[in-house]
Amino acid sequence: MTDPYSVLGLSPGASDEEVKKAYKRLAKKYHPDIAGNSEEAAHRMQEINAAYDQIINHRSDWQYQQQRSSSYSSAYGSDEPIEMQAAVNYINARRFMEALNTLYSIPEGKRSGRWYFLSAYAKAHTGDTVGAGRDIDEAIRREPGNMSYHAFRDNLTGRRTAYSGYTQNYSANTPGGICSSLCLSLLFFRFCFCFI
């Protein structure tokens, strides 16, 4: 696995702000308008995107995710609808709308705790955090012992607390005052979950 910071030409531990600047510099360099439609530029862009995603969203390597999700069906048995695997694949490919459509094609009687977790996850990534909250509550009701469900719920709540704290500080400060990304990255909990 390549170190994502080195892909962006940074040393490990660079701030989010530096990561964003480096990303934009490289994205401009490899943009088709400038680099042309070369295969190599497209490949570099994929690497740069994956590195950014890994650092900012704390996501593990894509291939790693793929590998894990392919062992999914054996771990969960064959009684789960095949659409569940499709939904996981959509989520791993960041296609959350398609993931939701696929999940909702599963009839209500066949929806497990895990279904509610996946639904909550996809909803949170399309902006429906209220629906996500309802679904994660239902997932926990069905599988109270699943710690990743609890972690997800804490994450949803933490996001609100972080925002409130930041807003209160904001109005108390002078222009350009506390907008440091360091402070924000400490405040904002990020969604990072594996699907196994």
The residues of the shown chain that bind another protein, judged by CB under 8 A, are: 17, 19-21, 23-24, 27-28, 49, 52, 56-57, 94, 96-97, 125-131, 159-160, 162-164, 166-167, 170-171, 173, 175-176, 179, 181, 184-185, 188, 190
Closer CB to another protein, residue 100 or residue 106? 100
Please state the closest distance from residue 79 (CB atom) to another protein, in A: 31
Please state the closest distance from residue 166 (CB atom) to another protein, in A: 6
Please state the closest distance from residue 130 (CB atom) to another protein, in A: 5
Residue among 101, 42, 96, 59 nearest 191 (CA): 59
Please state the closest distance from residue 84 (CB atom) to another protein, in A: 20
Closer CB to another protein, residue 192 or residue 194? 192
Structure-token pair, residue 151:
């972690």
Closer CB to another protein, residue 105 or residue 173? 173
Closer CB to another protein, residue 22 or residue 140? 22
Closer CB to another protein, residue 115 or residue 121? 121
CB 24 within 8 Å of CB 9: no
Please state the closest distance from residue 74 (CB atom) to another protein, in A: 29
Phi-psi map region of 19: left, alpha, beta (phi>0 left; psi -120 to 50 alpha): alpha
Which residues fall within 8 angstroms of residue 147, CB to CB, at 6 or more apart?
none
